[in-house]
Amino acid sequence: MNHIGKEDLSSEEKEFGDWLLLGIDKGWVSEPYCHTHDGGYQYMSEEEIEEWEAGGDPCEHVIRIFI
């Protein structure tokens, strides 16, 4: 969602963004981060592993749930 303007988002994407921000503000979840580059290689799909081994750099965006 960070790469496009809010005006280009669907109503569902806007609602998700609001939901995520509420969770972050309340301390229920972390901000999204890249699990690939911050660890988590064991969770890559077969396609992501192939891309990684071919020199690609797949990102796996995650949030942590704190409650």
pLDDT tens digit sequence for 6-59: 789 999 999 999 999 999 999 999 988 888 888 767 767 888 889 889 998 888
Q: Which residues contact 52 (CB under 8 A, 6 or more apart)?
A: 36, 41, 44, 58
pLDDT value for 1: 42
* CA angle centred on 56, ends 29 and 38, rounded to 5°: 30
Confidence of residue 66 (pLDDT cuts 50, 70, 90): very high
